[in-house]
Each structure stands twice: as C-alpha cells, then as structure tokens.
Amino acid sequence: MDMIEVSAKTVSDAITEACQKLGVTSDKLDYEVVEEGSSGFLGIGAKSAVIKASVKKSSVEEVARVFLNDVFQAMNMEVVIAIKYNEEEKNMDIELSGNEMGVLIGKRGQTLDSLQYLTSLVVNKEQSGYTRVVIDAENYRAKREKTLELLAIRLAKKVGKTKRSIKLEPMNPYERKVIHATLQNHPYVTTRSEGQDPYRRVIIELKHK
C-alpha cells in the first residue's frame, strides 16, 4: 500500500489513526514524523502533528510462514514450521514437523510438492529476484532421492539383462533429474524423457553401439 499522510492532535494520536486506516498494528507500521505539533499558548497557535505512514514490507520468511500457517489452519492441522533463509544465495529451506506428516507428504510427495510450488509463488510474487523454496517433512526428500537412485541402478541392470527398454512411472522434474543424474555415466544404458507434465516419464534404454 502507498504511503498516507495523517494529522492529529499528537504524534501518538496520528500513529493510532494511521494504524486504523491501514488496518495494521503499530509494530507493522513504518512512519515518518513530518510535524511534531504543538499546543500553542492557551490554545492559540496550536499545530497538529503530521506523519507519513505505510505498512512495513514483510520479510520473505514472514510471507512464507503466514501463508503456510493459513493453509494448515484451514486444514485444521497443528504443524511446526522451521525456516532457514540464505539471503545471499536466495535459498529458503522449510522443515515441517507434527503428528500428521504423512498427510502433508502425500502419495510420492505430491502434497509436499504442491505446498512447495504454492509457497514459492507467494514468496516470489513481489520479489525483485527469485528465491528457491524447498519444503521437507521427516527428511522425506533425502529418503525419496535415495530410493530413486537405487531404483535407477536396479532397472539399469534389468535393461542390460533383457536388452529391453523400461518406462518408469510419471515423475516430477526433480525426480526425473535424479534418475538422469544417477545413470548419466552408466557404461551401457542411457536415459531420456518423453510426454508432457504431469505425465512426463523417464525411459531407460540401451546405448546405441
């Protein structure tokens, strides 16, 4: 919201009025005193106090926390949110914990991915640069990555043995990247992706001689 100018009997009264007009508490208000105001002599020559005020810009951490709290409140869930933000590298890592993390993770992490995507949109809506947001719960992403690496190695052996290509189930871009990276230097199989999201999948096949 743009800056507004407010006049009142005192600076304190002007701050209170500005808070009411902007719909925020005083700790969320940025203001500049333009005129201190004075009571004059016996009321003669009195001057109103004048301030310029605006709503403080929320930090990216606060934006993410408020958004996620609203989501979890709507879901009637109690979730602890831990945020680590590296301003220099523009990375935000969010760790969720609570009693119902299975619900938030969802099948193959789909709910977690959706939360991550929406939070990223909210965080980057009014940012000049791009902040990379990663949301995790119960170390799911590391566990999932390890599972995908083992799957890639196992299926590569199968392709080598049967000489037949294998199509994996549809995966998100990150999961496909893990498969590709795991097998990029494999001696006798290669990988490629086909299809359109959200049905895009990886194919493991023999390298052409």
Tens digit of pLDDT for each residue in 118-169? Answer: 999 999 987 778 899 999 999 999 999 999 999 999 999 999 999 999 999 9
pTM of the model: 0.67
What are the start-end ranges of the H helices in the chain?
A: 11-22, 60-74, 101-105, 110-123, 140-162, 173-183
Tens digit of pLDDT for each residue in 86-106? Answer: 988 889 999 999 888 888 898
Residue 148 CA from chain centroid, whole number? 24
Tens digit of pLDDT for each residue in 23-43? Answer: 888 888 888 888 887 765 555
